Amino acid sequence: MTIADSTHVQQGSVSSQRHPPLLTVAKVVGQALLASCVSQTAVDGFETKHKEFLLRATSLAPVSLTGTWMPEGTIEDEPGELSFTQGVLDATVPLPQDDDSFWIVGALAGVRDVEFDGVPVLADDQLHRYGVRLGYGRFLNDDLLVQGYWQPSLYSDLDGTLNSDDYRPYYGTFLTVYRTSPTWFWKAGLMSNDAVDTCIIPLGGFAWHFADRWSMQVLAPRDANLVYEGGPWLVSMGFMSESDEYHVRSPDALDLEHDVHVQEIYAHLTVERALSQHLSFLIRGGSTVAGDWDWGYGSGTERYDGTLEPSAFITAGLSYRFLRWKP
């Protein structure tokens, strides 16, 4: 999803180890590409001035590549079952321009492969989401960060000729983070997304570091987590939500098009283990605790609509952080 709680230059990975050869090559290539967009002097000055703020404002990684499997799900009072697998790349990369400001570039790319069993009318489908992120952020003072990005996107099953209903040119996120003390960070903002009828979702929350290595991090309605950071490990538990709208086509015999909504609210336990100073492996497991699906083709055809009942899921993947975290 979206922007990090502070900026996506935050929260370093959780250990310092020797780089395997492949990671070393990737690092060299990445540094070469970055050098063409931003000077090392700007990066060093930005990190020196704001590193403590960035490390404590959020535990989320700015870049992640994950795969999720939900083997069996049901909708309350609806026949049949559903299942899905999905892969998602979520990247929001800051490019410092001076000690206080940065450009934001990134991308969101994901595919969800949905299968139905015993559900009338509906056919198995793939839901695609692709977007680019372009934005800007600035520290107005040492304790106040404002940032936002525009994310023109495509949300579609890519089945047939695309039209204007497949595109979401107005998606984006704006977020302000204010530090009131070394242990408290307050957050407020807005997100534009068709997951709700109004297309505008208010964001609000905080990061509270209530003990050494422990914090409570909330950005409603996106997530709420208890987080532990220590040594090479980062462990979080709590709730997270995922909600999207896609434009889909019916089987050829019906020749219809319609928008479908999918929403899951997960209770999860996530464990990350550092592989290098920046790269981590993560595994997440748990169950949906709520959610809502509304899937149909319109024109009076049957809909698969209702509350998602508790369903187990598992996620695995990689995360990358630009700042190094030292235990």
Please check whether residue 126 lies inside any domain of the structure: yes
Please check whether residue 28 lies inside any domain of the structure: yes
**Residue 36 token pair:** 């063409």
Specify the amino acid at residue 26: A
Alpha-helix residue ranges (DSSP H) falling in 177-231: none
Please check whether residue 5 lies inside any domain of the structure: no
Phi, psi values for residue 53, rounded to 5°: -60, -50
Phi, psi values for residue 121, rounded to 5°: 75, -45
Per-residue pLDDT at 177: 98
Taking residues 142-161, report their average pLDDT.
Answer: 96
Q: Is residue 62 within 8 Å of residue 94, measured between CB atoms?
A: yes
Q: Is residue 57 within 8 Å of residue 177, measured between CB atoms?
A: yes
**Mean pLDDT taken over the chain:** 89
> What is the Cβ-side half-sphere exposure of residue 102, based on CA atoms within 13 angstroms?
31
Please check whether residue 10 lies inside any domain of the structure: no
Taking residues 296-316, report their average pLDDT.
Answer: 93
Please check whether residue 1 lies inside any domain of the structure: no
User: Which residues is 228 bridged to in the sheet?
Assistant: 214, 235
Please check whether residue 286 lies inside any domain of the structure: yes
Q: Is residue 195 within 8 Å of residue 212, measured between CB atoms?
A: no
pTM: 0.87
Q: Which of 19-28, 39-48, 294-303 has the lowest mean pLDDT?
A: 19-28
Q: Which of 37-46, 61-70, 99-108, 248-257 has the lowest mean pLDDT?
A: 37-46
Please check whether residue 15 lies inside any domain of the structure: no
* Host domain of residue 173: 21-320
Q: What is the percent of the chain with per-residue pLDDT over 70, rounded to a whole number?
A: 87
Per-residue pLDDT at 10: 34
pLDDT at 20 over 80: no
Q: Give how many domains the chain has, as a whole number.
A: 1
Cα-Cα-Cα-Cα dihedral sign, residues 64, 194, 172, 248: positive
Collapse the DSSP code of 122 into the 3-class scheme (helix H, G, I; strand E, B; otherwise coil) and give the result: coil
User: Which residues is 70 bridged to in the sheet?
Assistant: 84
Phi, psi values for residue 298, rounded to 5°: 75, -170
Please check whether residue 309 lies inside any domain of the structure: yes
Specify the amino acid at residue 253: A
pLDDT at 8 over 60: no
